[in-house]
């Protein structure tokens, strides 16, 4: 611990990302990356943007993306926010909408960045236990609070929340004057998005990433859809932190991705088909497999500790994600790769058990 760190730096517990190995070649099923390349139109757009204009600052408002996204989703450009990955937008949202004097809520088993952001911004929080089947019960959040956030589908479980339950909670929080944030990083793989409800619920914000369904984890681009009031709040935080978070190359690639729906619909369909086939084969091996609407599966091997199964797969050249936390320490999160990669996974699982 450095003597130069302030008290905040000494006491925070940073988020730990999935392993990015350099020492050997693995089948990498640990960080929910898309197994397929981005649209060729994205690559072409980035190449075309790599020109002499790189000497100029990018548009601080990301106008061309906001217009393209607004056209696709049937909203106004003023109801779209662009950021340097959805994690950055989540950080802005915590700063913009939650108070240090009121307790916000999120699930006890969920995206592990939430408590990191809450601690960073000095926001008190309370975690709400998932049901015994690991699903989110929105009724549990209808208490006096400082705001609510959860992923849909949830991570790392992959279980979706019905839209009717989300809108019922949004109504409850609207009466309290509080914000509901739905982190829709994986929504394209089987859940129902809540963005069409932002007109009725001005306190509802959906946050999206291009790292998963768009296959652009290396580009770092995310966006949010919400009421003009919420989007302006995000802009105020952004412009107090970094007025130019989106570079010209990322902006060009993101616009091309949002406009190439046909390509990405095909890719998403392939991933969901592979997910269902893999889930079926794991169940045949007596694995416990939670129902997933994401690009990953949350599974428990028969009669083997989660940490031991994680290590055994790693030894056989396959990386998955293990969370050493209460209730889920025997589960593994397995990203969906190509059909060939998942066939190899099943082969290795059969060998281990």
Provide the pLDDT for residue 15. Answer: 77
In angstroms, the first-to-last Cα distance of the chain is 42
Distance between CA 2 and CA 322 in Å, rounded? 30
Question: 158: which DSSP letter?
Answer: -
CA distance 105 to 180: 10
The count of other CB atoms within 10 Å of the CB of residue 175 is 10
| Assigned token pair, 328 | 């889920």
- Per-residue pLDDT of 291-306, as tens digits, reads 999 999 999 999 999 9
Rounded Cα distance between 86 and 216, Å, is 12
CATH class of domain segment(s) 7-37+262-352? alpha beta
pLDDT in tens, 25-41: 899 999 999 999 999 99
* Res 18: pLDDT: 73
Q: What is the DSSP letter of 57?
A: P
Span 40-92, pLDDT tens digits: 999 999 999 999 999 999 999 999 999 999 999 999 999 999 999 999 999 99
Using CA atoms, how far apart are residues 253 and 234, in angstroms rounded to an integer? 22
Distance CA 73, CA 77 (A): 10
DSSP 108: S
Counting Cβ atoms within 10 Å, is residue 267 exposed (0-12), middle (13-18) or buried (19+)?
buried
Q: What's the average model confidence in pLDDT over 84-106?
A: 97
Beta bridge partners of 149: 181
Has residue 119 got a pLDDT over 90?
yes
Cα 183 to Cα 25, 237, 249, 304, 317, distances in angstroms: 32, 18, 25, 32, 31
Fold of 40-260: 3.40.640
CA distance linking residue 318 with residue 75, whole number of Å = 42
pLDDT value at residue 126: 98
pTM beyond cutoff 0.85: yes
Query: Is the Cβ–Cβ distance between 333 and 320 less than 8 Å?
Result: yes
Does the pLDDT value for residue 23 go beyond 70? no
User: In this predicted structure, what is the pLDDT of residue 24?
Assistant: 62
- Residues counted in the chain: 353
Sign of CA pseudo-dihedral 50, 51, 55, 58: negative
Q: Where are the domains of the chain?
A: 7-37+262-352, 40-260
Residue 147's CB is within 10 A of a number of other CB atoms, namely 25
pLDDT per residue over 244-266, tens digit each?
Answer: 889 999 999 999 999 999 999 99
Percent residues over pLDDT 70 in the chain: 99
């Amino acid at each position: 611990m450095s003597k130069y760190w302030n008290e905040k730096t000494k006491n925070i517990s940073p988020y730990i990302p999935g392993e990015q190995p350099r020492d050997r070649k693995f089948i990498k099923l640990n960080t929910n990356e898309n197994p397929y390349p981005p649209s060729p139109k994205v690559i072409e757009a980035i190449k075309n943007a790599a020109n002499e204009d790189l000497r100029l600052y990018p548009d601080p408002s990301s106008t061309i993306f906001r217009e393209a996204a607004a056209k696709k989703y049937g909203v106004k450009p003023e109801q779209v926010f662009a950021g340097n990955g959805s994690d950055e937008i989540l950080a802005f949202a915590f700063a913009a909408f939650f108070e240090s004097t009121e307790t916000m809520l999120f699930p006890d088993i969920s995206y592990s960045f939430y408590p990191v952001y809450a601690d960073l911004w000095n926001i008190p929080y309370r975690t709400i236990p998932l049901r015994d089947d690991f699903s989110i019960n929105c009724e549990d959040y209808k208490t006096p609070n400082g705001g609510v956030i959860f992923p849909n589908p949830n991570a790392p479980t992959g279980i979706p929340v019905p839209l009717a339950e989300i809108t019922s909670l949004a109504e409850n929080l609207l009466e309290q004057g509080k914000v509901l944030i739905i982190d829709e990083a994986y929504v394209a793989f089987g859940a129902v998005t809540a963005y069409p409800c932002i007109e009725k619920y001005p306190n509802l914000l959906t946050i999206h990433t291009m790292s998963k369904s768009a296959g652009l984890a290396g580009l770092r681009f995310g966006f949010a859809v919400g009421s003009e009031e919420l989007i302006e709040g995000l802009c105020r935080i952004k412009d107090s932190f970094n007025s130019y978070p989106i570079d010209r190359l990322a902006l060009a690639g993101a616009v091309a991705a949002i406009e190439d729906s046909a390509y990405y619909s095909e890719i998403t369909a392939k991933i969901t088909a592979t997910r269902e086939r893999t889930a079926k084969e794991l169940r045949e091996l007596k694995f416990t497999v939670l129902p997933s609407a994401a690009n990953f599966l949350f599974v428990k091997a028969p009669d083997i500790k989660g940490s031991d199964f994680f290590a055994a797969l790693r030894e056989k050249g396959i990386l998955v994600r293990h969370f050493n936390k209460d209730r889920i320490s025997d589960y593994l999160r397995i990203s969906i790769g190509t059909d060939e990669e998942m066939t190899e996974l099943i082969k290795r699982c059969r060998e281990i058990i």
